[in-house]
Amino acid sequence: MKNLSNQEWKELTEKDDNKVILDVRTDEEVAEGIIPGAQQLDLYQPQEFMNGIQEMDASKNYYVYCRAGSRSVQACQIMKQAGLDNLYNLTGGYSNWDGDTVIPE
């Protein structure tokens, strides 16, 4: 897992055609806004989270974020144990994000 600043995250995701952006926050947090293109997989729903990572493609690059950066570190550790290696964590999480956001539909 590599920790990325906002700037590093923007630069890498902009040019990465093999990316999956993963939001591990709760439904209530996601309702406040997400990083464009993100898929939600709530870490606080353990069975759903584990089922979701079992279906992930190990050849993809996973950019993971939460509200403040600690849940996403935990999510990356679980994902690594499941055999996923290309993991990037957004330092400071969504609350520190200064890029584009959208309200999910």
Tokens of 29: 């947090």
Active site residues: 66
- Report the DSSP pairing between strands 2-4 and 19-23: unpaired
E strand segments, the chain: 2-4, 19-23, 39-40, 61-65, 87-90
Tokens of 14: 């902009």
**Residue entry with tokens 């400071």:** 92
Tokens of 62: 């996973």
Half-sphere exposure of 51 (CA within 13 A, CB side): 6
